[in-house]
Chain A
């Protein structure tokens, strides 16, 4: 009764009660079962791709839709979990998880030596650079999808930077990847999506302590026979909470008050120190 093929038939069942109702229901069930192979593809056509079986091919969820950044925050892992309709494994389906942060402009500069000293040389501005990037999958993505598919979905830092608007110089693009990886903002395939029971999967996206506040997106993709057959987009938010949030908001909304408070607190701390240590 959970099959989507039954939904149109359900309307007939709500008619005023008639004596032949059980018979009609049986007929409806039978016809639905028989028609299902033909009915299912149009019903699923609104989704990303057609699935040959009823029920969602992929269902994924985030453990925390909101990451709270408080005074004790030292970075965390975001747990992405879900299930597939077929077995995951080297011979079966594969799961790819991609986490993306808000796009920002980034300037990469090169140091050059002039008259014996190092000075700031040429720079390259990249636009729409994701502030955060994390890619994990059940198997190396390069072996799962061909390059056009990976390029379209931004699966891989090389492909991501290659399609960023900005100068073509490959040196600067490589430097951008290295610098972003060094600051833990970007990582690719540093861990694997773990599978249990053949159909349940979970992945951990590392969120560094320097993660920016704002909205983030997680895409979970199901890959079958070299194609992405289902895709689910989830989102989470990184927010400051408690004292951290209050300090940040006062600093932003009342800068004069905040500046005066900083002066008063620092002077008070200095005075307090001199009182305490005079006794000592």
Chain B
């Protein structure tokens, strides 16, 4: 069953879009990530023009995160206070990131910069997550007592704030820095940033895995709404038909994912997300190294 997309100006198989939406939505609910880092490349792969894929991907991420956010909120897994701190810093960061993106484009090779960014960031994050979570799983197997978070210099910073849901009493500076940094990265890489936010909250802020997922969805919801609006205003490449088709599969997938996530242990969820992030990084690295099928491609003439 084919459907014509009004903004992308092409017709695609509706069932294929529903399937992609379902798969990405499932991951979104399970891991609390928007799935943009998977969705956008998949849409480009099936022939959607890149600007439409990026803009509509952000719009679909919004819907999927709202769905996941409601599911997580009911389970009491959202730390609104932490979410607001991350969000405010994240919006400031994404503004700075947009400026950096413009600068990179002026220098040329922005595609290469984004690809390398992806490989390095995803590769590092994925590898660290897999290593840590495997250790945690092994430790539990040996019935060794799990250590609570360690105290470091981070706990000596001023402006302390109580994040009750996350059972944390820490300075507001580390979450603000994390939010700002991820705002920059997400603007440059064109994604919501959930896949970087979740590990940062776990390893840098020491939040429990359960609240990181709900809180990350909180942040991703607002960041993707911001991106959707900016894309609609600046590039006019948000395709609502594409978005709604992806969402039809995505909201269902997000609910299944969220339900499944509660049955998994924190370290198991982290290991799976780590593996996913790592495999995307390897795939992108492969694209950089492999001889392309065609040495030529059509660019957009401005």
User: What's the minimum C-beta distance from A1 to chain B, rounded to whole angstroms?
Assistant: 51
- Which of A35-43, A79-87, A153-161, A258-266 interfaces with chain B? A258-266
- Evaluate whether A210 and B70 lie within 8 angstroms (CB atoms) in the complex, with A179-B294, A272-B251 already known: no
Partner of A263, one of B68, B229, B301: B229
- Which of A101-109, A135-143, A190-198, A223-231 interfaces with chain B? A101-109
B255 in the interface (beta carbon within 8 A): yes
Q: How far is the CA of A280 from the CA of B228 in the complex (A)?
A: 31
Q: How far is the CA of A71 from the CA of B6 in the complex (A)?
A: 8
- Which of A4-12, A14-22, A58-66, A246-254 interfaces with chain B? A246-254
CB contacts under 8 Å to B, within A26-75, are: 69-75
A3 in the interface (beta carbon within 8 A): no
Question: Is A266's CB under 8 angstroms from B70's CB?
Answer: no
Q: How far is the CA of A75 from the CA of B294 in the complex (A)?
A: 26
Q: How far is the CA of A6 from the CA of B11 in the complex (A)?
A: 54
B152 in the interface (beta carbon within 8 A): no
- Which of A91-99, A117-125, A144-152 interfaces with chain B? A117-125
Question: For residue B66, which residues in chain A have a CB less than 8 angstroms away from its CB?
Answer: 266-267, 270-271, 274
Question: For residue A244, which residues in chain B have a CB less than 8 angstroms away from its CB?
Answer: 4, 6
- Which of B142-150, B198-206, B235-243 interfaces with chain A? B235-243
Chain B interface, DSSP helix/strand/loop, else mixed? helix
Question: For residue B243, which residues in chain A have a CB less than 8 angstroms away from its CB?
Answer: 262, 265-266
Question: For residue B107, which residues in chain A have a CB less than 8 angstroms away from its CB?
Answer: none
Partner of B299, one of A107, A213, A259: A107
Q: How far is the CA of A240 from the CA of B7 in the complex (A)?
A: 11
Of chain B, the residue at the smallest CB distance from A256 is B233
Partner of A262, one of B232, B290, B296, B300: B232
Question: For residue B238, which residues in chain A have a CB less than 8 angstroms away from its CB?
Answer: 251, 258-259, 262
Question: Is A267's CB under 8 angstroms from B63's CB?
Answer: yes
Q: How far is the CA of A277 from the CA of B250 in the complex (A)?
A: 12
Partner of B63, one of A175, A247, A266: A266
Question: Is A270's CB under 8 angstroms from B301's CB?
Answer: no
User: What's the minimum C-beta distance from A29 to chain B, rounded to whole angstroms?
Assistant: 58
User: What's the minimum C-beta distance from A174 to chain B, rounded to whole angstroms?
Assistant: 9
Question: For residue A263, which residues in chain B have a CB less than 8 angstroms away from its CB?
Answer: 59, 62, 225, 228-229
Q: How far is the CA of A278 from the CA of B63 in the complex (A)?
A: 16
User: What's the minimum C-beta distance from A67 to chain B, rounded to whole angstroms?
Assistant: 12
- Evaluate whether A106 and B236 lie within 8 angstroms (CB atoms) in the complex, with A70-B4, A240-B6, A277-B255 already known: no
11 contacts across the A-B interface (CB closer than 8 A): A73-B11, A118-B292, A209-B11, A210-B9, A212-B9, A252-B236, A263-B228, A269-B67, A270-B247, A277-B255, A278-B74
Given contact pairs A172-B296, A267-B62, a sample of 17 additional A-B residue pairs in the complex whose CB atoms are under 8 Å apart: A71-B3, A74-B4, A105-B301, A108-B297, A110-B296, A123-B299, A209-B11, A251-B232, A259-B228, A260-B229, A266-B59, A266-B63, A266-B247, A269-B244, A270-B69, A271-B67, A274-B70
The 3 nearest A-B residue pairs measured at CB:
A273-B251, A259-B232, A270-B66
